[in-house]
Structure 1
Amino acid sequence: MPARCLAADYRYPRLEGRPSRPWLSVFAAPLLLSIAASAHASEGASSIYVPGAYNDFAAGLAPPPGVYARNDLVRYEGEIGTRPLGGRLDAGLEQTLWFNLLKLTWVTDVEWLGATYIAGINIPYVFDVSVDLNAEFAGQERFSTGSNDGFGDPYLVPIALNWANGAHHTTAAVGVNIPVGRYDEDDRINLGRHYWAIDPTITYSWLPASGWDLSLTAGILFNFENDATDYTTGDEFHLDVLAAKYVTPGFGLGVAGYVYEQLESDSGPVPDRLDDGFRSSGAGVGPAFMKSVSLGQTPVTLIGKWLHDVSSENRFDGDTVSLSAAWAF
């Protein structure tokens, strides 16, 4: 779900250790952006899913009706080691990525099935992505570098339903990756994935009066074929978790983590030649914080995260650092 914050006049009950204004953070937002370094290596070793982006402080909690915004500034640095692809490509790739993600959320006053109806969109812009690629073709080595900038694929959430029951908050959503970001199969670096994907997710938050916060988001990415390369990324399971404690009503500390697993191997000209197929998995963990501040008369929530990959197979291995600001219009 796209990120959100709460209006200034909304309050939790004044309970010890529990935040008094949960504009805290987000409707756990799919931060749908993945940079392609080359046609096969990208599709076989990266994803629309970005670790840590789907879940946050009080991720399942819905704000009052209104329009909300969140802006994420993200830096990712990672690498993927040498691996065979169809017996023809042996590549080691290092990547540094700076991008911005604007998330807009509309919380309506419409109720359906006992839930609040919500919609949103995420719009990514890449300030800079740089890669160092060391590839070997038929025994001949080649080393190259490159960079790019521009818009990536937007992510639309046409429907999300939020239920609240005491300390329990649940959101069911369906997202759609729209392949309109810059893409050329002959380019070294692409900003879009060039394929559609449907992403149903379920988010749950437990927010007791004691000031603890346990939030998680699980989903499955159903990927369609990239018709420029005849490549289909296998469907992907992703789980993001955050456990936090609100030290004061406006300040929280927590630990974030993720687990990612492809449910099936990729298919296409290269992975189909591999005896064991080609699929990815990964896991990571790191600290997170939130802080409520005021900019003039506007309440703003700041959210920071650092996720370190502790396990990666056929996937980039590195660090994701983000700083976000959320506010209500």
Structure 2
Amino acid sequence: MARKISAITFAAMAALLAGNALATEGGGGVYPNGNENYLVGAMPPPGTYWLAYAGYDHLTKLRDNNGDRINVPFDVKVGAFAPRFVWVTDTKILGGQLAWHVIAPLLNVDVSVAGSSQRKTGLGDIVFGPGLGYHEGNLHYVFALDVNAPTGSYKKTDMANTSRNYWNLEPLIAVSYVQPQGINADIKFHYDFNAENKDTKYKSGQEFHFDYALGYGFGNGWVAGVGGYVYQQVTADKLNGATVANAKGEAMGFGPSIKYDNGKGFFITAKWQKDFSVKNRAEGTALKVKFSIPF
């Protein structure tokens, strides 16, 4: 099942100041790429669980359609804390354990572009949806559908927003291979269907992306390795029904990743990642932390 926080929301002003079109509206999306880590596909036994995500993203560059830096002062900092509640039921459908989840992210967005700046703090876009979990020995996998609702604060004239201001459907598949000692591998595939932003008449294109983690378990609860993401926009954006040319986004991220699991329901993961191979999007670094506390 997906575990996420609402994505950074840039104003279209960033693109206008740069004189370039960014992929998807303002160069952002509903999902913060690279947010997931180890245990992404391992659904727990029936019960109620509380997880949380904390993150800090610092974006300092804008890249054009050729991957070249856009010459405009640009600095975006986003701090996030996103509690997530998961209910794994006793119900089985198609052999999988049925679960439901909801995430309510709290964001602090600080945007500075070409001498203008704005900060906004508040609730982001709430995420909810069902999932089916499966277990085959050390292999675990989940099929899920996330719904991203535009519940955050949005004004089309603002530089900083805590909402994308449109609905999004995000089917996903997450797979985890878990060993106390030995190779640990995780991957989560997403495909995004974005609705139109009614205030701007902008419809962001469809997006394919996946997060991954690969590490080695030392047999004492610790796993160390690497993680990151790959992102590719699949279809073109539309503004007032017309196709926006040469504005599909691409990006990758990579960095070190660790996990500690006490074997009693508590675990924590942490990852630092740097963006590269970026086109029509913002580039920077991010620190991502995820933890679970059983109750």
- Give the TM-score, by structure 1 length: 0.79
Structure 2 Cα separation of the partners of residues 230 and 283 of structure 1? 28
Structure 1 Cα separation of the partners of residues 246 and 235 of structure 2? 9
2:42 matched to 1:68? no
2:116 to 120, 144, 157: 144
Match of 1:304 in 2: 270
Contact persistence 1:182–1:190 (CA under 8 A): yes
Structure 1 Cα separation of the partners of residues 225 and 61 of structure 2? 29
Structure 2 Cα separation of the partners of residues 79 and 40 of structure 1? 12
Match of 1:291 in 2: 260
Counterpart residue type for residue 81 of structure 2: N
Match of 1:80 in 2: 61
2:281 to 305, 312, 315: 315
Q: Percent identity between the aligned chains?
A: 27
Deviations 1:92-139 (A, max 9, x none): 53101111111111111111111100110111001x3211112xxxxx
1:124 to 105, 124, 141: 105
Q: CA RMSD in A?
A: 2.4
Shift of 1:300: 2.9
Shift of 1:320: 0.9
The number of residue pairs the alignment matches comes to 283
Match of 1:173 in 2: 144
Contact persistence 1:311–1:317 (CA under 8 A): no
2:191 matched to 1:224? no
Shift of 1:315: 0.9
Shift of 1:208: 5.0
Contact persistence 2:8–2:78 (CA under 8 A): no
Counterpart residue type for residue 294 of structure 2: A
Deviations 1:68-113 (A, max 9, x none): 11122211001333759xxxx9855310111111111111111111
Of 318-327 and 282-291, the range deviating more from structure 2? 318-327
Shift of 1:270: 11
Aligned pairs for 1:129-278 (under 5 A) are: 129-134=109-114, 143-157=115-129, 159-207=130-178, 210-268=181-239, 272=243, 276-278=245-247
For structure 1, the 5+ residue unaligned runs are: 2-27, 135-142
Contact persistence 2:249–2:279 (CA under 8 A): yes
Aligned pairs for 1:38-77 (under 5 A) are: 38=12, 41=15, 43-53=25-35, 55-77=36-58
2:23 matched to 1:32? no
Shift of 1:299: 5.6
Contact persistence 2:109–2:161 (CA under 8 A): no
